[in-house]
Amino acid sequence: MIGFDYGTSNCAVGVMDANTPRILPLGDHGRYIPSNLYAPSRDVIVNWLYGQLPAAEQDNFKRQRQLQLQRGQAELRELALDGIAGDLFFGREALTHYLQEPDEGYYIKSPKSFLGASGLLPPQVELFEDIVAAMMSNVKTLTEAALGKAVTQTVIGRPVNFQGLRGEESNRQALAILTRAARRVGFKDVEFQFEPVAAGFEYEAGLTQETRVLVVDIGGGTTDCSMLLMGPEQAASQDRSRDLLSHSGERVGGNDFDIAFALRGIMPAFGLNSLLASGKAIPVNSYWQAVAINDINLQTEFYSAANGRFLQQLVRDAAEPGLVNRLLRVHKHKLSYRVVNAAEQSKIALTEHTGQHIDLSDIDDDLGVHLDRDGFAEACKRELAAITALMKDAIAQAGTEPEVVFVTGGTAKSPVLNRFLREQFQHTPIVIGDHFGSVTAGLTRWAGKIYS
């Protein structure tokens, strides 16, 4: 049995070792695999997955994906003529392959962000299910190699609300995709636990008395807040419904901080905030679409042929055409992930440094941008305000103030966010948990409890 954090930013797996959760090393990836996938072609993902499935599942999968498998076989033959294998890559290897040739192959980061999206057609739902299943299959294989035995039971983390506009319908859609994918790759028992609740379980293990804890989990795709009663007595119970005083959650997370930083910190070097030759402000829609890597519809619009023609005209109309031409290059060479990754890496670097220079000379000769903590705070005002609203909502629902605020998630490492949180809770202790491991550890504890 495992706790499985299929996260927006990273995937991790834990097992119980005596009474302590232990996060497993997953091959060369280490303990955390970035939630990325690269394929030489989108059409061959289904064929790779078919080859990884348990024998008992292959016949059923072949019936359901017959046309996709045939199309993938044709694509594999074309790739073979060019000497390209049909392998899939995950984590940092996936990002490396994308950065080598951004306009070749198929790269996706954080597919969890799309699972609750509105208006997905059946073929799109099937594609996301196959992408999720491929990633889960890779993690399951690495897990079984680390343990030396099969794994069939799992607790998977879920946000309070998945990213989507349809509330519970979006949640049901996302959970259905995750469940089908997990069972397809060989998990016989699949349960879910709220990620902030799981993070709270790990903090609870060190408590000696009942405590009201506001758990703030700032994940890659969502921020979730839960007010929980915690303590030794509560930890012994399998039914925690009475201890859960409130929940709030919204689509605002680490990815949104990266996107906001890319837009306001990097896109001015691509012409954002500049002028047309007529003296009017340059249109901003394409800049937002370019960096909105967690929105299928906006990315589709940005990379459409019609937008390509619009950007060509925008270069001609711009007062500074050299700047806007950089945005056209992003369109031509599919560089959205490249730009947002630069913002993400700068955000991480600003944890230790007050300023960071990023080299974008692969996009334009001698192009570089300087970013700093103050710029990050300014760029992310909307996201910080949204997190404030979520915390206040959880407290209002609970009808009581927290005695401790427990914060987890990768973005919680940011000094900007730490300063912001301490401004919100000046008289309440704030505990910063294991930035990536708290949720995994809590899911593992819950798996050990319900499957024992």
DSSP 282: P
AA identity, residue 219: G
Q: How many CB atoms lie within 10 A of CB 191?
A: 16
Q: How many CB atoms lie within 10 A of CB 42?
A: 16
Domain with CATH 3.30.420.40 in the chain: 209-252+381-433
Provide the b/e sequence for 55-86 (b: ≥16 CB within 10 Å).
eebeeebeeebeebbebbeebbeebeeeeeeb
- DSSP-assigned letters across all residues of 158-193: E-SS-S-SSTHHHHHHHHHHHHHHHHHTT-SEEEEE
- Spatial neighbors of 168 by CB under 8 A, at least 6 apart, are none
Tokens describing residue 404: 């401790």
pLDDT at 150: 95
- Spatial neighbors of 50 by CB under 8 A, at least 6 apart, are 58, 61, 62, 65, 69
Tokens describing residue 197: 């609740």
- β-pairing, 33-34 vs 211-218, is unpaired
Nearest partner of 263 among 369, 352, 353, judged by Cα:
369
Chain position carrying tokens 């609300």? 161
CB 186, CB 426: distance < 8 Å: no
CA–CA separation, 431 and 440 (whole Å): 18
Tokens describing residue 423: 């401004």
CA–CA separation, 284 and 44 (whole Å): 36
Q: How many CB atoms lie within 10 A of CB 230?
A: 25
CA–CA separation, 334 and 98 (whole Å): 10
Q: At residue 213, what are phi and psi to the nearest 5 degrees?
A: -120, 125
209-252+381-433 has CATH 3.40.50.300 classification = no
pLDDT at 208: 92
Residues in the chain: 452
CA–CA separation, 301 and 367 (whole Å): 26
Tokens describing residue 6: 């299929």
pLDDT at 83: 92
CA–CA separation, 259 and 357 (whole Å): 17
Chunked into runs of 10 residues, the chain (452 residues) has average pLDDT values of 92 92 94 94 96 91 94 95 94 92 90 86 93 97 96 93 74 94 96 89 88 90 89 84 87 90 97 96 96 88 96 97 97 94 93 93 94 94 92 94 89 83 89 81 92 87
Nearest partner of 255 among 47, 44, 410, judged by Cα:
410
Find residue 226's DSSP bridge partners.
215, 247
Instruction: Tell me the per-residue pLDDT of 54-108, one tens digit each, with 9 for 90 and over.
Output: 888 999 999 999 999 999 999 999 999 999 999 999 999 999 999 988 888 999 9
pLDDT at 164: 58
Task: Compute CA 43 distance to the chain's CA centroid, rounded to the nearest angstrom.
Answer: 23
pLDDT at 221: 81
CA–CA separation, 389 and 166 (whole Å): 20
Nearest partner of 288 among 315, 309, 313, 307, judged by Cα:
307
pLDDT at 19: 85
Instruction: Tell me the per-residue pLDDT of 292-303, one tens digit each, with 9 for 90 and over.
Output: 998 888 999 999
CB 125, CB 114: distance < 8 Å: no
Provide the b/e sequence for 130-146 (b: ≥16 CB within 10 Å).
bbbbbbbbbbbbbbeee
Give SS3 for 135.
helix
CB 290, CB 264: distance < 8 Å: no
CA–CA separation, 17 and 359 (whole Å): 44
Q: Interior CA angle at 137 toward 440 and 129, to 5°?
A: 95
Helices (H), 206-335: 232-235, 254-261, 285-291, 296-302, 305-317, 321-333
Tokens describing residue 91: 């984590």
pLDDT at 166: 62
Per DSSP (E only), the strands in 159-306 are 189-194, 211-218, 223-230, 244-250
